[in-house]
Amino acid sequence: MTRRAAIIACWGCVLAIAAILVARAHYITDLSAFLPARPTPAQRLLVDQLREGPASRLILVALEGADPALRAGLSRTLARRLRADPQFLTIGNGETEFLETDRTLLFEHRYLLSDAVTAEHFTRAGLARAIGRTIEDLASPAGMFLKPLVARDPTGEMLHILDELAATAAPAMRDGVWMSAGGERTLLAAQTAAAGSDTDGQERAQGAIRAAFQAAVRADANPAAPRVRLTMSGPGVFAVTARAHIKQAAMRLSIVSSCLVVLLLLSVYRSIPALLLGLTPVATGALIGIAAVALGFGAVHGITLGFGITLIGESVDYSIYFFIQSRAATHGSDPTWWRRRLWPTVRLGLLTSVCGFASLLPSGFPGLAQLGAYSISGLIAAAAVTRFVLPELVPAGFVVRDLTPLGARWARRLEAIRRGARAGLWATALGIAVIALAVLVGKRERLWDKELSSLSPVPAADLRYDALLRADLGAANVLDLVVISGPDEESVLRGAEQVAPVLRSLIDAHVIGGFDSPANFLPSLATQRARQASLPEAAALRENLRGATADLPLSSDRLAPFLADVEAARHGALLAPQALAGSSLSAGLRALILAGGDHFSAILPLHAADPAAPDIDVARGADALAAANLPNTQLLDLKRESDALYADYLHEAIRLSLAGLVLIVVLLAITLRASGRVARVLAPLVLAVLVVAATLAACGVQLTILHLVGMLLIVAVGSNYALFFDAHRRTGDEAGAPLMLSSLLVANLCTVIGFGLLSFSKVPVLEALGLTVAPGAWLALVFSALLTPAPAGA
């Protein structure tokens, strides 16, 4: 077996193993990329909520156009259709009507469900008070509905239950449905059965809403009905649009940029085999990168697949350097020239990049750690392929187009500039650095965007519309929650009941406007049992009733059905969750209880005290809960918690990147062994990063973790440029200079095209990466060219 065959066979084996690993890898696209590797219980709770809590299941629906009355009719038809669809747990549109089955269920079990049921309630005084109120109610506008129930329910338990179930604070109403205060939008709130992280399920649910709306419009006799527009918002809607968006944007951009890069390389190489060979390092690197992540982490995050390939774009450069610089006529016949003269520089560039990306590895943000692992293994693999495999694959006597004339032209221009400016270049560089630093220091307060939403692929306009709808709905803020954890449904329901008095005191203090609780739909068995036990025996009740009604206009003779119902309730079965099946109570309960194996959570969303100011004073709420000292009960501010988590990641990433910079300095100091050279290699890179960061900051862009990753990329790509100039200066190889320069130009052009196109993306994360890397890479080349002095011999 020849050496060539052995190398190719070895490469093939590695590729095959990697392919198997990639094919068998487990891919996860949910939010666990954001869950810290070792989460605290609060962080796990947060991610659970983001993944499947009520906030994640909420779809806000707005109808706009035509007149409010027409929209109100459509809202009712739409809600009726959606309520019949099992894909939705609840549909709120302001109609407070309960289904017939619900009313029967509530009425039959009123003595288990009403929190007014205590032993005191059925004493002579208690009965007199309750029945007195019912008599007053009879004279009220609601009295007409009450009248038929009085004989069985003189204490008004049914009305009490309905009052408790009705939302405490509701959005503005018009024509019987929710409407924005200005009347321009009719609103519905849908809770999906699918978890927020189930993007396919969310997509189906949104399709169902669209279809139901179209059917409602068709069924409406009003000719203006087709003028009503449907819009949806909420986390699930964002997830679905973002997925389509990213898919589309990534696909379109990568097709366009691939075409451009391929055209460029074709015009340079003038050889299709060379083009294909040139792509082998990238392809190998991408495959090995995923395989390494799968091996090291057990599962690959979607974010790694999405961004990884852009991070190893540098590996295209390796083959460009190889092809163009090996072309030099003087070396073309010497196969070891590449290995002896170019490889050490490429290797050092690779090591520099590895040091940079290694700073991502210890990140507590699994997404970032995976990107680090992917980049490192991908780059090493690509470099190894360029070093060992590519020379063996190239057919004998193969040469690409000679770019010496192009390079020579640029070399002369560069020389002219360098000679004209002399020492002024370094002074200018220093000046630029000072200005950039001044800008960054001036903006330091608002330099970094510490909100998780900055990573969100959702366009700002959509977020503003979402905020508008949430303000319209006012009460339906599901970002502040009390979460109670426990081993079973009964324990979390009991927890929800225990926290209710604390929350009611917060309502009285105007800290919150109200709260939802699963216990409103179904009290715990313990509570039901206690209520049942508080019902008096038939004889005692009859006696108390007679006494209570003595002074009332309602004779106890008419209340025999009441006595019979109470007696039945004393011996009836308790209400189990299964008994609620099919009712809207069950839907309400399921929306507020998360079940996962032996871990249950009850969710109590808090309503803002003032719909106009939806922010709740979480600190006061947390204090009140802490004072009550309830076990397994926590107040969770989803936005604040997730921002805090992200801010932690960001701070850690900044610290680690600085550590990476130190590592690069150490690496360069060891290999270059001269402080002047280290400074010359680093200066262009640091300058490029500073200028890009300062320009972004000056333009009002707040930097995110993706900008930081972009800066690492500038250093990774740019280090090759600086090292090539440095190597050239040291060797003084005049014949090779034009080819080196043209290879750098081609490589840089590829990078600028690829990332430049990303910066046109509407997806913020892609845009951030593009806006950082494209100008940064270009600047790194310009600064490297200008700041490296001409070879000593010239």
Q: Closest approach of Cβ 456 to another protein, in Å?
A: 36
Residue 558 near another protein by CB under 8 A: yes
Residue count at the site for another protein (CB under 8 A)? 35
State which residue, 25 or 151, has the beta carbon closest to another protein. 151
Residue 361 is given by DSSP the state T
| Cα within 13 Å of Cα(373), Cβ side | 25
Residue 553 near another protein by CB under 8 A: yes
> Residue 301, Cβ neighbours under 10 Å: how many?
25
Residue 168 near another protein by CB under 8 A: yes
Residue 752 near another protein by CB under 8 A: no
Residue 554 near another protein by CB under 8 A: yes
Biggest alpha carbon–alpha carbon distance for the chain: 120
Strands 299-301 and 88-92: unpaired
Residues 259, 262, 265, 271: what is their CA dihedral angle, to the nearest 10 degrees? -140
- Contact region for another protein (CB under 8 A) — 133-141, 240-248, 284-292, 537-545? 133-141
Question: Rg of the chain over CA atoms, in angstroms?
Answer: 35
Residue 166 near another protein by CB under 8 A: yes
- Contacts (CB under 8 A) with another protein, residues 325-344: none
DSSP string over 466-519: HHHHHHHHTT---SEEEEEEESSHHHHHHHHHHHHHHHHHHHHTTSEEEE--HH
Q: Closest approach of Cβ 513 to another protein, in Å?
A: 10
Q: Closest approach of Cβ 553 to another protein, in Å?
A: 4
Residue 170 near another protein by CB under 8 A: yes
- Residues 442-481 vs another protein: string with x where CB under 8 A? ----------------------------------------
Q: Which of 326, 314, 328, 323 is nearest to 275 (CA)?
A: 323
- Contact region for another protein (CB under 8 A) — 159-167, 391-399, 590-598, 618-626? 159-167
> Residue 393, Cβ neighbours under 10 Å: how many?
16
Residue 69, CA distances (Å) to 76, 179, 226, 347 in order: 11, 11, 14, 72
Residue 222 near another protein by CB under 8 A: no
Element (H, E) at 232: strand 229-233
Residue 48 near another protein by CB under 8 A: no
- Contact region for another protein (CB under 8 A) — 128-136, 188-196, 261-269, 564-572? 128-136
The residue type found at 307 is F
Q: Closest approach of Cβ 712 to another protein, in Å?
A: 56
- Contacts (CB under 8 A) with another protein, residues 96-115: 96-97
Beta bridge partners of 179: 186
Residue 91 near another protein by CB under 8 A: no
Instruction: Tell which one of 57, 76, 110, 729 touches another protein (CB under 8 A).
Output: 76
Residue 537 near another protein by CB under 8 A: no
Instruction: Tell which one of 126, 176, 362, 789 touches another protein (CB under 8 A).
Output: 176
What tokens appear for 254 in the block? 């990568």
Residue 136 near another protein by CB under 8 A: yes
Residue 174 near another protein by CB under 8 A: yes
Alpha helical stretches, state H, 270-365: 272-297, 302-311, 314-326, 336-337, 343-358
What tokens appear for 510 in the block? 């105007």
Residues with Cβ < 8 Å from 659, sequence gap 6 or more?
Answer: 359
- The residue behind tokens 């470099």 is 383
Residue 219 near another protein by CB under 8 A: no
Distance CA 261, CA 253 (A): 12
Distance CA 397, CA 388 (A): 18
- Contact region for another protein (CB under 8 A) — 93-101, 188-196, 394-402, 517-525? 93-101
- Contact region for another protein (CB under 8 A) — 160-168, 305-313, 495-503, 716-724? 160-168
CB 162 within 8 A of CB 521: no
What tokens appear for 211 in the block? 């279809």
State which residue, 158 or 694, has the beta carbon closest to another protein. 158
- Contact region for another protein (CB under 8 A) — 57-65, 161-169, 279-287, 721-729? 161-169
Residue 178 exposed, middle or buried by CB count within 10 Å (0-12, 13-18, 19+): buried
Residue 163 near another protein by CB under 8 A: yes
For the chain, the first-to-last Cα distance in angstroms comes to: 47
State which residue, 103 or 133, has the beta carbon closest to another protein. 133
Residue 341 is given by DSSP the state I
Residue 135 near another protein by CB under 8 A: yes
Residue 547 near another protein by CB under 8 A: no
- Residues 665-684 vs another protein: string with x where CB under 8 A? --------------------
Q: Which of 761, 745, 750, 751 is nearest to 710 (CA)?
A: 751
Residue 130 near another protein by CB under 8 A: no
Q: Closest approach of Cβ 141 to another protein, in Å?
A: 4
- Contacts (CB under 8 A) with another protein, residues 138-157: 138-144, 147, 150-151
Instruction: Tell which one of 30, 48, 95, 466 touches another protein (CB under 8 A).
Output: 95
State which residue, 98 or 388, has the beta carbon closest to another protein. 98
Q: For binding to another protein (CB under 8 A), which residues are involved?
A: 69, 72, 76, 94-97, 133, 135-144, 147, 150-151, 162-163, 166, 168, 170, 173-177, 553-555, 558
